[in-house]
A = this chain, B = another copy of it.
Amino acid sequence: MNDDLKIFCGNSNPALADAICEHLDMERSPMEISRFSNDNLFVQIQDNVRERDVFLVQSFTHPVSDHLMEMMIAIDALRSASARRITAVIPYYSYARSDKKDAPRISITGRLIADLLQTAGADRVLTMDLHADQVHGFFKVPVDHLTAIPTIASHFQKYYDLSKMVAVATDAGGAKRAGRFSERLNIPMAIIDKRRVSDTEVKQGHVVGDVANKEAIIFEDEISTGGTLLSTVDTLVAAGVSKVHAGAVHPVFCGPAVERLKNSALGSVVVTNTVDIPDNKMFPSLTRLSVAPLFAEAIRRIHTGESVGALFR
């Protein structure tokens, strides 16, 4: 790519940013991120960005507040350094989960963050598998919304016998996502129906759909502590499923997640690299697929003005 395109990244996932740059056959531009003694963040762009087309890669992973502030301060620095266009590349937009007001007097933080990023100076957004498709509409600036569902589906298609497979959503809210995944693989689907027993207790869900004597792929957008996933495994096994796999786009893997998954009855766990997994957290049944080629191609097309929608056909 030419000199007009610049790619920077924050501290959340430099490995992915580097992989993207490699696919584009270019160097990542340097940016210093440090802290003052009073814990204020400091960001300095270390490359001339005047009138350049800049992409800034940052996932909203732990510590989320710091990674978010890094991104906003960097965008402000880029803007005031006269970048021509700033695209916030957010492979994992954690706050997409705060997308509705399901309790009184709370914030729809997914919308708030969208507004804050625009105030900071983001001209557009490139992201992947938002928790709900509607979150796209939280942004006023143009968004390119990629999906890793075909990537993960292809993996299962290649390496697994799908004849007795069923795709499972962990709750009713995930039915649409699991449906899309199952349609891609041409397999049936099921969902877990969970009910609230009291204000503080959610009882074990039960399976809606036909799963007995089948093999299952639980499909989610993200795996966080793994708690929901493992309780779903239990529910499925109790319902007669012979083997359970898991597919998810964002491997948030926090707290006891890795230990739990490693020691679970799960067959394969297939994720992407939107969230960085340190080497010491990798385990044998875990497969990590790279979304770098997809992001690289999207960036190339955004930069040159080619259709991005065509990426999905």
Task: State the A residues within 8 Å of B (CB).
Answer: 36-46, 48-52, 61-66, 68-69, 72-74, 76-82, 94-95, 97-112, 115-116, 119-120, 124, 132-138, 140, 142-143, 145, 169, 171-173, 175-176, 178-179, 182-183, 188-191, 193, 195-196, 208-210, 222, 224-225, 227, 252, 254-255, 301-302, 305-310, 312
Docked pose: A132 CA to B182 CA in angstroms: 22
Contact of A82 with B302 at beta-carbon distance under 8 Å, contacts A46-B105, A100-B134, A136-B101 already known: yes
Contact of A94 with B39 at beta-carbon distance under 8 Å, contacts A73-B109, A305-B52 already known: yes
Q: Which residues of B contact A98 (CB under 8 A)?
A: 40, 42
A101 touches B224 (CB 8 A): no
Copies of this chain, tallied across the complex = 6
Q: Can you name 11 A-B pairs with beta carbons within 8 Å?
A: A38-B252, A48-B305, A48-B307, A51-B305, A65-B66, A74-B107, A77-B106, A101-B145, A104-B307, A112-B120, A173-B176
Docked pose: A132 CA to B176 CA in angstroms: 12
Q: Which of B44, B72, B107, B190 contacts A105 (CB 8 A)?
A: B44
Q: DSSP class of A's interface residues: helix, strand, loop or mixed? A: mixed
Docked pose: A3 CA to B64 CA in angstroms: 36
A76 touches B133 (CB 8 A): no
Of A37, A63, A72, A307, most buried by chain B (CB within 10 Å of CB) is A37
